[in-house]
C-alpha cells in the first residue's frame, strides 16, 4: 500500500475509534482513577522462585509511581508452573517442554479480607528446548521462560483489575 493511501486509512481508523466511544483503559478521567487505585494494591508474598518473579512483575505493573503510599487493597495470588514434555525421542529423552503457568487470584479490601471484591484466573503458556545444553545455558533459558510467563500472567491480572476499578471508581 502506498503512503498516499496509508495516511487516509490511518486517519479514518482513528476517527472511527473516537466515534465509537473508545477510551483507553488507563486514560481519561475515569482511567486516571483506575491508575490511582492500582497504586493502592498491595501484592502479598507468593511462594517459590516463580512466585517471586510474578510478584515483582505485578508490582511493576500496578505501582507505576513506585511503592504505594496508601494500601487499600490486598492482592493474593496462588501461582503454579507445570511442565510437560512435548518432544520425546524413542529413548524417552525429552527435547522440548511446554510450561503452563496458572494464577488464581483475589482482590480484597485491606480492612476486610473476608470480602472478595474480585477474583479470577490467569494463564499463560510457553515452551523451551532441552537439547544437550550445558547447565548454565539451560538455567538461563528456564529463567527467561519463567520471566516471560510471569509477565504475561501479570499483564492479564492487571488488566482485569484495572477494568474492574474503571467500572467501580468509588470502590
Q: Which domain holds residue 77?
A: 26-167
For the chain, what percent of residues have pLDDT higher than 70? 75
Buried b (16+ CB within 10 A) or exposed e, 99-118: bebbbebbbbeeeeeeeebb
Q: Is 107 part of any domain?
A: yes
Write down the pLDDT at residue 15: 58
Q: Is 12 part of any domain?
A: no
pLDDT at 3 over 80: no
Q: Is 140 part of any domain?
A: yes
Q: How far apart are CA 170 and CA 159, in angstroms?
A: 18
φ/ψ (deg, to 5) at 29: -60, -50
pLDDT digits (tens, 9 = 90+) for 61-84: 998 877 767 889 999 999 999 988
CA 37 from centre of chain = 17
pLDDT at 162 over 80: yes
73-88/41-43 β-pairing: parallel
> Into how many domains does the chain fold?
1
pLDDT digits (tens, 9 = 90+) for 6-25: 666 666 666 565 555 555 55
Amino acid at each position: 500500500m502506498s503512503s498516499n493511501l496509508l495516511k487516509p486509512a490511518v486517519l479514518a481508523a482513528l476517527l472511527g475509534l473516537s466515534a465509537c466511544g473508545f477510551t483507553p483503559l488507563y486514560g481519561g478521567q475515569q482511567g486516571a482513577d483506575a491508575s490511582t487505585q492500582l497504586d493502592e494494591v498491595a501484592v502479598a508474598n507468593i511462594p517459590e522462585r516463580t512466585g517471586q518473579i510474578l510478584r515483582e512483575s505485578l508490582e511493576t505493573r500496578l505501582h507505576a509511581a513506585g511503592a504505594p503510599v496508601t494500601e487499600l487493597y490486598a492482592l493474593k495470588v496462588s501461582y503454579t508452573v507445570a511442565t510437560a514434555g512435548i518432544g520425546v525421542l524413542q529413548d524417552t529423552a525429552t527435547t522440548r517442554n511446554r510450561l503452563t503457568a496458572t494464577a488464581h487470584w483475589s482482590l480484597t479490601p485491606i480492612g476486610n479480607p473476608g470480602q472478595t471484591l474480585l477474583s479470577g484466573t490467569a494463564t499463560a503458556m510457553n515452551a523451551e528446548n532441552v537439547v544437550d545444553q550445558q547447565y548454565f545455558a539451560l538455567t538461563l533459558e528456564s529463567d527467561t521462560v519463567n520471566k516471560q510467563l510471569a509477565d504475561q500472567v501479570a499483564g492479564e491480572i492487571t488488566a482485569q483489575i484495572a477494568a474492574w476499578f474503571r467500572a467501580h471508581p468509588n470502590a
